[in-house]
Amino acid sequence: MTDYQLGEKALNAYWNASRQLYPGFFSSFSAFTYKLQPSSVKLRILMEGIGLGIRSSEMSDLRIETAMRSMASQSKGKMPSSNHDFFRYLSNEATKIHWVDAASYVTTETAKDVLKGTAEIGDSIISAGRAINSILPILLVGGVLVYALVLLETATKGGASKLYKSLR
């Protein structure tokens, strides 16, 4: 959507909400926009400005409608006192913290961090297992040699040590 279309959507949301709340409000959207700004060039600039504000704050359609419904309720079926009112109501809605959105974001990011940490722990365990697998044969061979030397020493009643020392 272009900025103009977003601005038009916001003004249309205001007009629809005003018509629902106050049936005597302008019967057509074009009559409303003409009263709001008789110059088509200035109306286009207004719509593009509103749309740019909406785009820059990344407002959802629901939040746009909420802001415009709130503005329509406050204006009590009358035209806004200033075109800046549109910006003010949209800005107020854009800066509200939506706790459900915030909670779902925090939960998602926390789950990602936990999964990343779990994967890192798993990688560490695998690396430790590989190290143990490479060291284990050396330890087994060394243990067998030590056991054989102890048996040899015992069988020769110390003669193996004397033989070893004489070979040095």
Single out the residue in 63, 79, 95 at which a domain terminates: 95
Q: What is the pLDDT of residue 97?
A: 64
* Global model pTM greater than 0.85: no
Q: What is the pLDDT of residue 69?
A: 92
Which residue shows structure tokens 């925090």?
Answer: 106
Q: What is the pLDDT of residue 144?
A: 83
Spatial separation of the C-alpha atoms in residues 33 and 40, rounded to whole Å: 9
> Is the same domain home to 68 and 49?
yes
Single out the residue in 95, 114, 133 at which a domain terminates: 95
> Is the same domain home to 17 and 88?
yes
Single out the residue in 69, 95, 121 at which a domain terminates: 95
Q: What is the pLDDT of residue 9?
A: 93
Instruction: List the pLDDT tens digit at each of the 168 positions of the chain.
Output: 899 999 999 999 999 999 999 888 888 888 888 888 888 899 999 999 999 989 888 888 999 999 999 999 988 878 888 888 888 888 888 887 666 666 677 778 887 887 788 878 888 888 877 777 778 778 777 888 878 777 777 777 766 666 667 666
Q: What is the pLDDT of residue 155?
A: 76
* Enclosing domain of residue 18: 3-95
**How many other CB atoms are there within 10 angstroms of residue 97's CB atom?**
6
Nearest to 71 by CA among 58, 85, 59, 84: 85
Spatial separation of the C-alpha atoms in residues 8 and 43, rounded to whole Å: 10
Nearest to 19 by CA among 81, 83, 69, 93: 69
> Is the same domain home to 44 and 76?
yes
> Is the same domain home to 55 and 107?
no
Spatial separation of the C-alpha atoms in residues 73 and 67, rounded to whole Å: 10
Q: What is the pLDDT of residue 102?
A: 63
